[in-house]
Structures are given as structure tokens and as C-alpha cells.
Amino acid sequence: MWKSLFGGLVVLLAVYLALFGRKKQYNPDDVKGLRVVVTGGSSGIGEQIAYKFASMGAKLHVSARRESKLIDVTAHAKDVGAQEAHYFVASLSSYINASLLIQDAMQKLGGIDVLILNHFTSPYVGFYRHEAKDIEQLFMTNMLTHAHLASAAMETLKENKGRIAATSSAVAFFGSPYTIPYTTTKCALVGFFQSLDHELTINKTDVSVSLVHLGYIGTKSSSVIQDKIKHKPASKVECAAEMVRGIMMREREVYFPASVSWVPLFQALFPDYISNQVQQTYRDNAFS
């Protein structure tokens, strides 16, 4: 009975998708000259977002801790078409560095049109150690600096009808084993930016907030779980392209891969099924 109901639902969704699922596209000319700030821009998804914006003639500001990587990223961004490409070396483990980052971007770009909050760190993948301190220590880098960066840039974003994006994960929808501190910070990130979006709308500002919900994407940081996970990762290049599309279209929620967009509905309808799927994500005995 459940199986046929499930099958019927899948068919309905497929029909719905075929009819209404086409995504709205932006005009690449609108990107030319946009001043784009990307945190966590030295590798992975952030690096690809930088290149995507660069290829359409944006002015970039990327940041992270590793200067040598940032030098490479800005050089490549210029090669593929960035009008300007600047970098700032900072560990986003303090409010001070977050403030300095915005100051630096303002000085070099003269204003900010797009603020992409993408940096994160994860201390370990494995069973929770029952140490709340592990969670506390992640909050500054994975959530509080995002909130601080958005506030520090708010004035220029309001002046420029700007865009804010924050990178979250599908784990924030259903929780996840083996990444409890990380998952906790992502849930907080979602709560903050969805709520901020409400206040910005109520205040009739022209600043949009895009929450990006990602599934498993192939990057250096996710490679540590590659041999422990049953699924194949999605492409970081395609991920960045979809993020840029959603941000340019000022979409509130952006999903990649597309299947992530069905998770909230499926979870509401079939919570046990989703729980089971989550627990089946990792190979048996991956952490024992």
C-alpha cells in the first residue's frame, strides 16, 4: 500500500516538474561589473562560484586562510573574465576578522552588491563525542561570522539593492549522524538568514537573501567521507552555476542537486522513510 502510494506520488511530482519545473534564467549581462564578495573562496564550491561570476565580468573579492590558494584563484578569475579580482587573507574565527574583511572589500571594490557566505569548518566526522564544547567552538566560524558579515555589509547592500547568500546543507532538514556539531551550526544558519529575510522584506528593503541547501557535492572537504558514503557526489561546477542562478534570480531557497528540493515535503509525508534513508547514507560500520 505504501509502495503504490509512494509510486503514485513520484509520478505526480514528475508530471508537476515537467509542467512547472523550468527554472527562471537571469541575463548574464546583469552580472557585468557586479561587486561580489565570496567567503571560503579558496577552494571547492566557493572557488567555482568565483569563476562563474568572473566569467560574466564581475568584480570579485575572495577570502579564506590560505593565501597561496587565493593568489591562484584571483589569477584564474582574471583569466576567465573578471573585471577585478581581489583577495583577503583571514581566519573567520573572530568578529574582528569579519569586520576587517568587509572593510577590505569596501576599500577595494567601493561597495558590495553580492555577499556570499560560504566558509565553514568541520572538526571531525564520526560519532558525537558528547562534548558540547565541540559545537560551541564551531559556532563562531560556521554561523556567528556569517551573521556579523551580513550586518557589517548591510548598509552598502541596502544602497545597492544587494543580494546575500548563505550556504547550508540538506542535513539541516533532517539532522545527520556523524556530523552533529556541523549540522547544529547549519540549522542555526538557516534560522538566522530566513528570519533576516523576513525583516528585510517587512522593512521594504531591496536586499534579497538566498538560502542554499546542498546535497553531497564533490569537493576536497567532502572527500574525507567519500569512502564512507554510499552515494556519488554531484559536480561542484554545476552546483556553483545553480547557486549563481538562484542568487541572481533572488530566490529565497536554492537547492542542489534538484532532488534536495523534495526533501522537506517527503519528510513531512514519510518521516520514517527519510530517517531510514539518512541512516543508510553511510556504509555499514563506517565509523565503528
Ligand X SMILES: *[C@@H]1O[C@H](CO)[C@@H](O)[C@H](O)[C@H]1NC(C)=O
Which one of 17, 96, 265, 269 is in contact with ligand X (CB under 6 A)? 96
The full DSSP string for 193-212 is HHHHHHHHHHTT-S-EEEEE
From the CB of 251, what's the least distance to ligand X, in Å?
19
- Is 238 among the residues that bind ligand X (CB under 6 A)? no
Which one of 9, 57, 76, 91 is in contact with ligand NAP (CB under 6 A)? 91
Residues in the chain: 288
From the CB of 173, what's the least distance to ligand NAP, in Å?
11
- Is 200 among the residues that bind ligand X (CB under 6 A)? yes
For 197, the grid coordinates are 529575510
From the CB of 167, what's the least distance to ligand NAP, in Å?
4
From the CB of 138, what's the least distance to ligand X, in Å?
15
Other C-beta atoms closer than 10 Å to the C-beta of 216 total 19
Question: Does 182 qualify as catalytic in the annotation?
Answer: yes
- What letter represents residue 271's amino acid? P
For 136, the grid coordinates are 560551541
Which of 272, 176, 266 has its CA nearest to residue 215?
176
Rule CB under 6 A: which of 58-77 touch ligand X? Answer: 65
Partners of residue 211 on adjacent β-strands: 166, 253
Helix (H, G, I), strand (E, B) or coil at 63: strand
Rule CB under 6 A: which of 105-134 touch ligand NAP? Answer: 118-121
Which of 87, 39, 86, 77 has its CA nearest to residue 57?
77
- What letter represents residue 96's amino acid? I
- Is 97 among the residues that bind ligand X (CB under 6 A)? yes
Catalytic residue list? 182
Task: Using CB under 6 A, list all residues that contact ligand NAP.
Answer: 40-46, 64-66, 69, 91-93, 118-121, 141, 167, 169, 214, 216-217, 219-222
